[in-house]
């Protein structure tokens, strides 16, 4: 659970002295029609000044009306390239706060949270862990150089044609007639990107596109990507279109 504090309750002078400003955006996140300042603060490495790793990542909201400062600390609050996006995801005509953090490493995983702060009340709208737990998949190699991707959550099935792979790759799994030698499973990795998509430019409303990488038997074997379109409906994000895309570097 994210943590929320107000400077009316706790002194934070030492906090600001010991952290660095990482990113900042302006927008009305409280709903009073006055622009607020939303910032990311965090700790850079003292031991390695060249490191881009940031720890103790914290969202700081400065109320444009009264200068009151509130702080949100995400549960997972360390990583690379933490960044903000302000936009109305829950369609209440007030900007919400999206924070994205790269985990680093070869998996390409991301950490994503979206918060509403309307009327100075923090509400979590999106949590990457909940998303990863909700959407489950099976990835099964099939005869004739096909891979079946089943989304168990939405009861949808997609088929990828991997005949473009080179012969040395295909011969590990298929005989000369294209028949699968042994059962082979791949995997859909955790959320790797969460992109805001403008659904109504006049009202600053946004939907989301969630990307997950589909791999074969190794992390380096990218077969394609899950692309899941999400919109906020009542109290949660729901999928309204899921598709599969293939790597762009196929020749």
The last residue of a domain, from among 128, 146, 166? 128
Q: Which three-class secondary structure state does DSSP give residue 16?
A: helix
Question: Phi/psi of residue 196, each to 5°?
Answer: -70, 135
Domain count, the chain: 2
Cα gap 31→104, rounded to integer Å: 35
Count how many Cα atoms sit within 13 Å of the Cα of residue 180 in the half-sphere of its side chain: 14
The last residue of a domain, from among 128, 155, 175? 128
Residue 184 is part of which domain span? Answer: 135-245
pLDDT at 51: 84
User: Do 221 and 145 have their domain in common?
Assistant: yes
pLDDT at 8: 44
Query: Looking at the domain assignment, is residue 251 inside a domain?
Result: no
User: Do 10 and 75 have their domain in common?
Assistant: yes
Closest CA to 40 of 102, 100, 84, 91: 84
Distances (CA, A) of 217 to 22, 123, 153, 184, 234: 37, 39, 23, 8, 39
Query: Looking at the domain assignment, is residue 103 inside a domain?
Result: yes
User: Do 235 and 164 have their domain in common?
Assistant: yes
pLDDT at 13: 60
Give the strands of the sheet with 146-151, arranged side by side. 137-142, 146-151, 156-161
User: Do 92 and 147 have their domain in common?
Assistant: no
User: Do 121 and 9 have their domain in common?
Assistant: yes
pLDDT tens, N- to C-terminus, the chain (251 residues): 455 444 443 455 666 667 899 999 999 999 999 999 999 999 988 777 778 899 999 999 999 999 999 999 999 999 999 999 999 999 999 999 999 999 987 778 999 999 999 999 999 999 999 999 999 999 999 999 999 999 999 999 999 999 999 999 999 999 999 999 999 999 999 999 999 999 877 777 999 999 999 999 999 999 999 999 999 998 999 999 999 998 776 54
Number of neighbours of residue 202 by Cβ within 10 angstroms: 6
User: Do 33 and 148 have their domain in common?
Assistant: no
């Amino acid at each position: 659970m994210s943590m929320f504090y107000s400077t009316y309750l706790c002194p934070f002078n030492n906090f600001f002295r010991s952290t660095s400003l990482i990113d900042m955006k302006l927008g009305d996140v409280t709903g009073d029609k006055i622009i607020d300042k939303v910032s990311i603060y965090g700790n850079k490495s003292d031991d390695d000044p060249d490191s881009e790793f940031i720890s103790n990542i914290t969202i700081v909201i400065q109320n444009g009306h009264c200068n009151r400062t509130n702080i949100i600390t995400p549960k997972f609050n360390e990583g690379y390239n933490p960044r903000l996006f302000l936009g109305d995801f829950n369609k209440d005509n007030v900007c919400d706060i999206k924070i994205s953090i790269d985990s680093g490493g070869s998996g390409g995983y991301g950490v994503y949270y979206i918060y509403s702060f309307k009327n100075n009340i923090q509400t979590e709208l999106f949590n990457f862990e909940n998303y990863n737990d909700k959407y489950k998949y099976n990835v099964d190699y099939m005869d004739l150089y096909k891979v079946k991707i089943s989304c168990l959550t939405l009861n949808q099935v997609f088929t990828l044609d991997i005949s473009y792979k080179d012969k040395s790759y295909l011969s590990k799994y298929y005989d000369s007639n294209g028949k699968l030698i042994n059962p082979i499973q791949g995997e859909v990795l955790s959320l790797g990107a969460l992109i805001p998509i403008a659904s109504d430019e006049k009202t600053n409303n946004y939907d989301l596109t969630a990307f997950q990488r589909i791999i074969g038997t190794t992390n380096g074997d990218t077969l394609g990507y899950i692309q899941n379109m999400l919109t906020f409906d009542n109290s949660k994000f729901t999928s309204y279109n899921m598709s599969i895309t293939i790597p762009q570097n196929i020749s």
